[in-house]
Chain A
Amino acid sequence: GIQVEQSPPDLILQEGANSTLRCNFSDSVNNLQWFHQNPWGQLINLFYIPSGTKQNGRLSATTVATERYSLLYISSSQTTDSGVYFCAVAAGSGGYNKLIFGAGTRLAVHP
């Protein structure tokens, strides 16, 4: 099955700093999403980005499908950005969405 690797596993930032999170995947995918899991456990969808570049406020993401990686950029970080960021992919074989999650990047933003 598809392998998903995220780096770094842990990240500590001062408020206002920028960061880049990386997701490598081992096979072609038709679904790639970035999620933020808040301290209460809810997975919040950030981007649906199987290819290309998207931006939403201070967040942006780029997926280079041919090279099998995706990047999530966080600019001017805030304490509310703390939590775990997951990359998840699906190959879509069989006509269903089986999201394979990476182990996550645990982000702590300090004031």
Chain B
Amino acid sequence: DAGVTQSPTHLIKTRGQQVTLRCSPISGHKSVSWYQQVLGQGPQFIFQYYEKEERGRGNFPDRFSARQFPNYSSELNVNALLLGDSALYLCASSLGSSGNTIYFGEGSWLTVV
């Protein structure tokens, strides 16, 4: 079975641009979460979606938004990119909304120049 898949794997954007990252969860999983990992630190929670509804939001500005589609895949959008948005963006999926094993994808490396 396929794991959590993310695209693109690497991308370079210019300050002020917008980026969309995509994620497909493990088959049967209804929850998708997004995390940001800056070099040298642990991942930071951005959003969780369950059954197409936002269930949780971390301490990130409104420039960050996400959605989940009927097939449970998800997109993370970041507007007005800043240099500080350069990071590894990780998508995770789980069966339920809480208390389940969480599995991560390989991530999308975003560089803002």
Contacts and interface: CB of A to CB of B under 8 A. Distances in A.
Contacts of B48: 96-98
Interface residues of B, number: 30
B56 A94 contact: yes
Contacts, number: 78
A33 B99 CA distance: 11
Main secondary structure, interface of B, reads strand
Given A96-B50, A96-B56, A41 B109 contact: yes
Given A42-B106, A45-B104, A97-B31, A92 B98 contact: yes
B29 to A, nearest CB: 12
A94 B45 contact: no
B97 A95 contact: yes
Given A31-B102, A33-B102, A97-B99, 17 more contacts: A30-B98, A33-B101, A41-B88, A42-B105, A42-B106, A45-B102, A45-B103, A48-B102, A92-B98, A95-B55, A96-B55, A97-B56, A97-B94, A99-B33, A99-B45, A99-B102, A103-B41
A3 to B, nearest CB: 12
A45 B56 contact: no
